[in-house]
A and B are shown apart, each in its own frame.
Chain A
């Protein structure tokens, strides 16, 4: 039997049981759509996170107090809630003296109530140097940043995030020049950051108050140590060389001779990308694995229906064999039917998946202000098509072989 005739016969058989064909296909449609959606979400999340990390700048080095136990991916002690006081001004001064370092910006962080008029909001605040805004590439959208002079003089000035500005002042009131109270200390708003979204390491750039380091340390926190130091490497130097210099300086300053006893952790953008890339890849794989369960369930559904179909059409199989069909002709016909069911299901699943992915993009971008990246990987489409076709072959072969092997006499006698 020619393939064209077998194809025609199979499509006709499927068309005669439209409702059954559609319902059978549904399992594969849902399975493929799930794989597509979850792979796409995984890819989007990965792109979003990696973009943000890349947005930090490739020449930045983050120095965090506390060792990380030597593991490349293990968290430094300070990020586990332990207060470590080892990172101080002396270290920053030493960094600045290094020719390969163009800037070293210390940061301290805290959480406090910010009040304007009747609006009272709990936010994270950050005390830092004036260079912070250029080093972290966080420009102001309105007003200006505070200056080096402001930091040295301990001026009560603040730069706030755009979302916080809207929450405190509403959509119409200009925040510049207004006085807010942070932990009962008055600050004059001098600038509003440009919209940036949630930045790397989970800091919400749009919902933050940034004040001079001196004010934060002396009046808000009462500390002399830093939460972290951001180092900007001279682009003429290799980042790993700069990293080694930073390590050297800190070990010297902190009198550390045994590297396993380092009381600091150094992270570059590359490290962060490696960690996040690993996490998101595993996440995407995990999501795809979950989705593939529904694909297997769909495939078993196909096999089940095909087995029922073979039994129901026993007499037809007997007749076809009596008038000259070979085992191979019958196998071919049933296999085409199952592959047709799964591949059409696959195409519908891809379209459905694309529609849902588009909807997610629309909702996240328009209603949640998340800079969601629309990712619809070609690999997911090819995978969807490939997997659905293979599912048709895998789950269709057993019923098709069963059909092909039927004895024509028994098949013709079947009631």
Chain B
């Protein structure tokens, strides 16, 4: 599903180039649950941004579902982000003045899905995260854990193949964090590809495989022996 070869990312700031990623090579198969780990400034967020089409690499190749990013226009990238990718951010990024329904509906506004079909899709996504009783509650009035569940519902609503989660438990207490990871785990079990960026080992261990990044390079890429399961216990 995802194949990157010799990926590079350089930022040029006032004529001084900064290398954020270099010679990054790996593949992620459909239905995998992968954690990307690394210390602050290691390049893991840059990697996620490129993987999720929010940024383009400056070198190497990136093929998503058989198509190279180099062959796609910005508009096509936006279309793929909308149709095939779901996003969960650390700070939720909900529009607090809108209802849960309106927040979850946002990706559908930019899709080809007809207005008449949207209500059903929004309700289904909200039900999947167990917030059906909060459908018309203002997002700003929800707890942190509930907000992140709304964000997951928003990521699910277009039925994407991949879900990118950037530090999804970073702003949550351990109980809420565990609930969020259980939801992501359940999505993975239903066949979705989940790519998680985290610096917490416990969170990363929900995945099947951990890619460790250091100084813009892959430090290690190995499967997890003791994978955590939905109650947070080790398998």
A→B interface (CB under 8 Å): 1-2, 4-5, 9, 12, 16, 315-316, 318-327, 329, 408-409, 412
Q: Are B49 and A319 in contact (CB under 8 A)?
A: no
User: How many whole Å from B118's CB to the nearest CB in chain A?
Assistant: 10
Known pairs A326-B74, A409-B49; A320 contacts B110 (CB<8 A): yes
Known pairs A1-B110, A5-B109; A319 contacts B93 (CB<8 A): yes
- Further pairs besides A9-B109, A316-B95, A323-B87: 8, Cβ < 8 Å: A2-B115, A322-B93, A323-B82, A324-B78, A324-B110, A324-B158, A408-B54, A412-B89
Q: How far is the CA of A163 from the CA of B56 in the complex (A)?
A: 86
- For chain B residues 92-120, which have a beta carbon within 8 Å of chain A? 93, 95, 97-98, 102, 106-107, 109-111, 115
Q: Are B89 and A321 in contact (CB under 8 A)?
A: no
Residue among A318, A323, A408 making CB contact with B106, cutoff 8 Å: A323
Known pairs A409-B54, A409-B55; A319 contacts B78 (CB<8 A): no
Query: Chain B contacts of A4 at CB under 8 A?
Result: 115
Q: How far is the CA of A327 from the CA of B110 in the complex (A)?
A: 12
Q: How far is the CA of A25 from the CA of B52 in the complex (A)?
A: 40
Cβ-based interface call for B231 (8 A): no
User: How many whole Å from A415's CB to the nearest CB in chain B?
Assistant: 9
User: How many whole Å from A312's CB to the nearest CB in chain B?
Assistant: 12
Cβ-based interface call for B44 (8 A): no
| Interface size class of chain B, counting residues whose CB lies under 8 Å from the partner chain | 20 to 34
User: How many whole Å from B45's CB to the nearest CB in chain A?
Assistant: 9
Q: How far is the CA of A321 from the CA of B107 in the complex (A)?
A: 9
Known pairs A316-B95, A319-B93; A325 contacts B110 (CB<8 A): yes
Residue among B78, B79, B98 making CB contact with A321, cutoff 8 Å: B78
Q: How far is the CA of A409 from the CA of B81 in the complex (A)?
A: 14
Q: Are B78 and A326 in contact (CB under 8 A)?
A: yes
Q: How far is the CA of A168 from the CA of B54 in the complex (A)?
A: 89
Residue among B102, B107, B115 making CB contact with A323, cutoff 8 Å: B107
- For chain B residues 47-91, which have a beta carbon within 8 Å of chain A? 49, 52, 54-55, 74-75, 78-79, 81-83, 87, 89
Residue among B55, B109, B154 making CB contact with A1, cutoff 8 Å: B109
Residue among B75, B93, B95, B158 making CB contact with A412, cutoff 8 Å: B93
User: In this complex, which of B55, B107, B111 has the most chain A Cβ atoms within 10 angstroms of its Cβ?
Assistant: B107
Query: Chain A contacts of B109 at CB under 8 A?
Result: 1, 5, 9, 325
Q: Are A318 and B79 in contact (CB under 8 A)?
A: no
User: How many whole Å from A302's CB to the nearest CB in chain B?
Assistant: 21
Q: Are B89 and A324 in contact (CB under 8 A)?
A: no
19 A–B contacts, CB within 8 A, in A order: A1-B110, A12-B98, A12-B102, A16-B97, A319-B95, A320-B106, A320-B110, A323-B82, A324-B79, A324-B82, A324-B111, A324-B158, A325-B78, A325-B109, A325-B110, A326-B75, A326-B78, A326-B110, A327-B74
